[in-house]
């Protein structure tokens, strides 16, 4: 066998669709941080930029092309701990999640998860948060942000 390990061999049809992405060189969530009147922090997700290693171009995805985004509201620099999780995306993310979980989801609870704006949270004692975004291509990027 030639051409590399079997688990990395990809048919041409997958390479053309974006479904065969194995590596992302780098990317960055596009967010803004705001403070509420009572000093809490709110994160707003605007999109994500991902380097496409096959072309060298930067692929910008709006929130309609983001499957999931998460926040570690007290990032310690060692490991990402999901403290907030939100689902966006085009189509019907509610139905996709119901099918994936094989369960009914309370619509009121869903309304708090289907958002590009986080629930307010305390300023982290670590002074940092981390935001991780997964787009519809399966690209996963994370960035650490200082919170004053």
Cα–Cα distance measured from residue 65 to residue 72, given in angstroms and rounded to the nearest whole number: 21
Report residues of the chain scoring pLDDT below 50.
Answer: 1, 8, 12-16
Please tell me the predicted confidence (pLDDT) of residue 120.
97
φ, ψ of residue 96 to 5 degrees: the values are -60, -40
Do 147 and 125 form a contact (C-beta atoms < 8 A)? Answer: no
Fill in the DSSP letter of residue 101.
Answer: H
Domain spans, the chain: 24-146
Please tell me the predicted confidence (pLDDT) of residue 138.
80
Please tell me the predicted confidence (pLDDT) of residue 90.
64
Please tell me the predicted confidence (pLDDT) of residue 84.
95
- Fold classification of 24-146 (topology level): Immunoglobulin-like (2.60.40)
Please tell me the predicted confidence (pLDDT) of residue 33.
96
Please tell me the predicted confidence (pLDDT) of residue 1.
46
Tokens of 36: 């509420």
Instruction: Enter the pTM of the model.
Output: 0.75
């Amino acid at each position: 066998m030639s051409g590399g390990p079997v688990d990395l061999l990809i048919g041409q049809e997958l390479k053309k669709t974006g479904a065969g992405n194995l590596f992302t060189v780098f990317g960055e969530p596009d967010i803004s941080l705001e403070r509420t009147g009572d000093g809490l922090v709110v994160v707003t997700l605007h999109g994500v930029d991902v380097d496409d290693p096959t072309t060298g171009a930067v692929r910008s995805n709006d929130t309609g092309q983001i499957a999931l985004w998460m926040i570690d509201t007290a990032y310690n620099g060692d490991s990402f701990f999901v403290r907030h999780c939100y689902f966006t995306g085009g189509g019907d993310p509610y139905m996709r999640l119901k099918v994936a979980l094989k369960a009914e989801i309370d619509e009121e609870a869903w309304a708090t998860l289907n958002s590009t704006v986080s629930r307010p949270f305390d300023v982290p004692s670590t002074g940092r948060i981390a935001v991780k975004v997964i787009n519809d291509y399966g690209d996963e990027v994370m960035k650490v942000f200082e919170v004053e």
